[in-house]
């Protein structure tokens, strides 16, 4: 039957690629729930690439959930994306075994999950920068009219130049009416928006929710809600307000804390309406931090005076909303007063808690290892999988 379907199919025939012949597989770098990823040398271009081969049955199962909707394939979406904080995909196709494959730039570096766990110097110094870079990649993604549906640290890499790259477009859908209808609950449990869990109509705001969970975790190493392994746990998203990150991290710039908490709102209408809106206070806070780094003064978490500050990474946005900045500025001034006694002149961390000693030493040895002789596979050191990172299998009738 399959054979007949294929025989009469009007789809243009794609040439099959013998990947074993074309690529020298240097080493396995990842085993996602949907694929295998290798570091490989492409004999055609001569370059070292990341070769992602999708699991045939699981991909078919996922695609069957969008039957009749013409959902573009992961590779088709990936090759169209062109943004400094999104992994570059050079090519996609079908293997001689009929598996979908993608050829990408190889990102040498770390998984964001690793950095969340480590809370090392890199994370303490660059956390806000990474948050903004991730937000910028989502902004681009949304402008191109897609919904990512699986924003979480596992799907984000940071390269050795400290630049963030969003990966994995396996669950991406177009931001068009047929794909927003209630139904499919795909994603990673702890990062899934309440409306998605409740099988309600979705929108790009589900990515804003996942982004906010990710930011919360990047800063605090904790999820806003208990690990979401079971339906009960996931339903806490719906019924219990999350712990305010400001309480967890009293030194965190209130502007940043408020932005994240608004991204975690239960009802999409109470959340940031666009990722661009959410980025405004984050960028404003970043400009203040940059200025502090330049002038080497103590962090002053006052967002009111920043109109003339430019940064290399982010552009200033003149459309800043008064209400947000006024509110955060008032809170910031209060905080500043209480903090005057504990100045740390050379610390520009967003939050100034030191990482535990044992974490520090692990990171140092990792760094040394990384700089030593060409290790087989350097990318994507992942921490032990946390319960909270459970990936929800792509099965339409599944209950969590």
Tell me which residues are annotated as active site.
150
236 binds ligand ATP (CB under 6 A): no
107 binds ligand ATP (CB under 6 A): yes
Q: Tell me the closest approach of the beta carbon of residue 14 to ligand ATP, in angstroms.
A: 21
From 75, 135, 153, 170, residue interacting with ligand ATP (rule: CB under 6 A): 170
From 168, 207, 302, 349, residue interacting with Mg ion (rule: CB under 5 A): 168
260-264 own/partner pairs: CB under 8 Å, 24+ apart: 260/212, 260/215, 260/216, 260/219, 261/212, 262/212, 263/208, 263/209, 263/211, 263/212, 263/215, 264/209, 264/212, 264/213, 264/216, 264/224
Q: Tell me the closest approach of the beta carbon of residue 33 to ligand ATP, in angstroms.
A: 4
Q: Distance between terminal CA atoms of the chain?
A: 33
Of residues 71-90, those binding ligand ATP (CB under 6 A) = 87
* Tokens found for residue 184: 């499919």
250 binds Mg ion (CB under 5 A): no
Q: Which is nearer to ligand ATP, 86 or 335 (CB)?
A: 86
Q: Tell me the closest approach of the beta carbon of residue 324 to ligand ATP, in angstroms.
A: 33
Q: Tell me the closest approach of the beta carbon of residue 102 to Mg ion, in angstroms.
A: 12
Q: Which is nearer to Mg ion, 168 or 217 (CB)?
A: 168
50 binds ligand ATP (CB under 6 A): yes
Q: Which does 37 bind (CB under 5 to 8 A by kind): Mg ion, ligand ATP, none?
A: ligand ATP
Q: Which does 194 bind (CB under 5 to 8 A by kind): Mg ion, ligand ATP, none?
A: none
Span interacting with ligand ATP, options 3-11, 34-42, 221-229, 317-325, rule CB under 6 A = 34-42
Binding mask 30-59 for Mg ion (x = CB under 5 A): --x---------------------------
Span interacting with Mg ion, options 41-49, 135-143, 147-155, 256-264, rule CB under 5 A = 147-155
List residues near Mg ion by CB under 5 A: 32, 155, 168
List residues near ligand ATP by CB under 6 A: 29-30, 32-35, 37, 50, 52, 87, 104-107, 111, 154-155, 167-168, 170, 379-380, 391
């Amino acid at each position: 039957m399959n054979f007949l379907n294929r025989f009469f199919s009007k789809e243009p025939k794609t040439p099959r690629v013998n990947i074993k012949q074309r690529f020298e597989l240097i080493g396995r770098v990842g085993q996602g729930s949907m694929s295998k990823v290798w570091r490989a040398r492409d004999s055609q271009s001569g370059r070292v690439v990341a070769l992602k081969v999708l699991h045939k049955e699981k991909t078919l199962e996922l695609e069957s959930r969008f039957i009749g909707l013409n959902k573009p394939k992961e590779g088709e979406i990936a090759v169209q994306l062109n943004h400094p904080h999104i992994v570059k995909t050079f090519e996609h196709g079908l293997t001689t075994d009929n598996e979908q494959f993608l050829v990408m730039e190889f990102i040498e570096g770390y998984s964001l999950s690793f950095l969340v766990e480590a809370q090392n110097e890199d994370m303490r110094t660059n956390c806000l920068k990474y948050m903004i870079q991730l937000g910028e990649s989502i902004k681009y993604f949304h402008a191109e009219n897609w919904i990512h549906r699986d924003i979480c640290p596992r799907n984000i890499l940071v390269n050795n130049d400290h630049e963030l790259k969003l990966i994995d477009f396996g669950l991406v859908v177009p931001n068009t009416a047929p794909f927003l209808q209630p139904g499919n609950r795909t994603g990673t449990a702890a990062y899934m928006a309440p409306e998605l869990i409740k099988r309600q109509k979705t929108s790009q705001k589900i990515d804003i929710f996942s982004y906010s969970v990710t930011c919360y975790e990047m800063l605090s190493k904790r999820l806003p809600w208990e690990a979401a392994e079971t339906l009960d746990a996931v339903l806490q998203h719906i019924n219990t307000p999350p712990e305010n990150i400001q309480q967890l991290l009293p030194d965190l710039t209130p502007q940043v804390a408020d932005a994240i908490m608004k991204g975690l709102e239960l009802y999409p209408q109470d959340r940031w309406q666009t990722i661009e809106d959410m980025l405004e206070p984050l960028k404003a806070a970043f400009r203040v931090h940059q200025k502090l780094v330049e002038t080497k003064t103590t962090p002053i978490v006052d967002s009111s005076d920043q109109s003339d500050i430019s940064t290399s990474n982010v552009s200033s946005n003149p459309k800043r909303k008064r209400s947000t900045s006024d509110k955060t500025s008032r809170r910031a001034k209060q905080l500043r007063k209480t903090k005057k006694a504990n100045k740390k002149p050379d610390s520009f961390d967003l939050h100034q808690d030191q990482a535990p000693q044992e974490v520090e030493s692990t990171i140092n040895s990792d760094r040394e290892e990384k700089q030593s002789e060409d290790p087989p596979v350097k990318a994507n050191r992942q921490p032990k999988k946390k319960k909270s990172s459970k990936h929800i299998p792509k099965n339409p009738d599944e209950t969590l």
